[in-house]
Amino acid sequence: MTRATTKSDLIDTANGEFTKLLALINAMSEEEQNAAFNFDNNFLEKHKEAHWARDKNLRDVLIHLYEWHRLLLNWIIANQNGELKPFIPSPYNWKTYGQMNVDFWLCHQKTLYQKSKDMLKQSHFDVITLINTFSDSELFTKKHFSWTGTSTLGSYCVSATSSHYNWAIKKIKIHRKFYQGTK
């Protein structure tokens, strides 16, 4: 997947990956959508990233995407309104954002799966709507906004949309492989 360099590329890629994500989910039976992840120990020994142990089901993955949409939305809106805020909210930072992800996970343990799906659809719409308000220059010129640091606003948008959707798709495909292997 090539990284977007224009607003139209950004939106097309984000919508395309989101459509792929939803199609993958919709191709699953209701039982499979609601099943707990069942990655075996051999797999987990080879995959040390925290999310493999953190996320227990599809809801957890969708909530992770939703919460990162909220990070992006809140960050952009606050800074556009003159309230200088970092992307990762206090008390977290880029060294401790793993704990933030765990805290997102903890906050949503009572969120129903269907609700998480609805929340994600709405937050994706909200992110795309907000991206549409920016020009190519605003999205892809480094330091256009002081609050993006040395990066571009578009880079943050790619990370919170298409790149994250691609991560989720890969994870869900592995869940499907393990799930179907137990049937």
Q: What is the distance in angstroms between the CA of the first residue and the CA of the last residue of the chain?
A: 32
What is the tens place of the pLDDT at every residue in 14-54? 999 999 999 999 999 999 999 999 888 888 888 888 899 89
CATH assignment, 7-181: 1.20.120.450
The reported pLDDT for the residue numbered 48 is 84
Whole-model pTM: value is 0.95
What is the tens place of the pLDDT at every residue in 82-119? 999 999 999 999 999 999 999 999 999 999 999 999 99
